[in-house]
Amino acid sequence: MTGAGEHVLVLDDLSAGRPSRLPQGVPLVEGSSLDGGLLKRVCAEHGVTGVVHLAARKQVGESVAQPARYYRENVGGLATLLEAVAEAGVGRFVFSSSAAVYGTPEVDLITEDTPCAPVNPYGETKLAGEWLVRAAGAAHGIATVCLRYFNVAGSAAPELADTGVFNIVPMVFDRLTRGEAPRIFGADHPTPDGTCVRDYIHVADLAEAHLAAARRLAAPDARGDLTVNIGTGRGVSVRELITVIGEVTGDHRAPVVEARRPGDAPRAVASAALAARELGWTARRGVREMVGSAWDGWLLHQGDRPGE
């Protein structure tokens, strides 16, 4: 956002965020989305005109183990923020939703009209969050956009790389770095090579989607609500992804195939048409670029991960 000339203030409780990752000159308020008094003060004192709400817990397994915490932080935090936004008269709101709202639909391309049926508490909090965003938008005249991200990968710069090992790309890097073969969960899915097919989106493309959404809301006639998929529209199988990882890392160890994981959809690929039409945004970066940028970040942060 700052790179695009927008003025930004960041509010973060630093549970996962690090101040060193902020561009120079971006003010940071340390605090929680659950602290209504702080949110109201920040909106008023800084003359906030729009909000991009990213803060959330995001681990599916953790959400299954701690559902109340996920509802409290993801839905409760959002409700608290929307009350502050409404009171301050902030007119624009972008919400980080997720393809997890869809659950495991059996369709070739997931459109925004595909029925939502989340299969874990994390996805439920994102769907409930969307309902709340739309309801608050209608009640208080806030123009809103909900962005349903598909599988985020890559790094905009090595020093900004996500150091968590929660998604497939870092999980494969982790195995290779330990001298172990990558794992494939299920090679008997009804897909061309039997492995799960996903829509991977480069985090730099995702950032551009947020900018496009914020700018759409900044238009003088911006009104109403919009919910859009943020994906590429192209499916990549786990086996294809592991091949690209082998090319990038130079480690071509053959993957081992293990049993399917319960709840894994064989295929989850976005229709990217609505984002192109409504936001004028289309993903520009491919899987090779995602893996290459993630690997650069992985190498830079080698020493930061626990157990190393």
Active site residues: 122
Q: Name residue, tokens 């409700």.
A: 79
The C-alpha atoms of residue 11 and residue 9 are separated, in whole angstroms, by 7
Instruction: Give whichever of 156 and 222 is closer to ligand NAD, judged by the CB atom.
Output: 156
- By beta-carbon proximity to ligand NAD, the closer residue of 29 and 274 is 29
Closest approach, Cβ 103 to ligand NAD, in A, equals: 14
- Output the smallest distance, CB 11 to ligand NAD, in A: 6
E strands present in the chain:
10-12, 28-30, 50-53, 92-98, 143-149, 151-153, 183-185, 197-198, 200-202, 225-230, 236-237, 256-258, 267-268
3-state secondary structure at position 87: helix
Give the residues lining the site for ligand NAD (CB under 6 A): 12-17, 32-34, 54-56, 58, 73, 77, 96, 98, 149, 152
Residue nearest to ligand NAD (CB): 17
Residue where the block lists tokens 């890559």: 154
Q: Which is nearer to ligand NAD, 72 or 253 (CB)?
A: 72
Angle of CA points 88, 80, 123, to nearest 5°: 130
* Shortest reach from residue 187's CB to ligand NAD, in Å: 24
Q: How far is the CB of 172 from ligand NAD (least distance, A)?
A: 15
Comparison of 21 and 288: residue with beta carbon closer to ligand NAD: 21
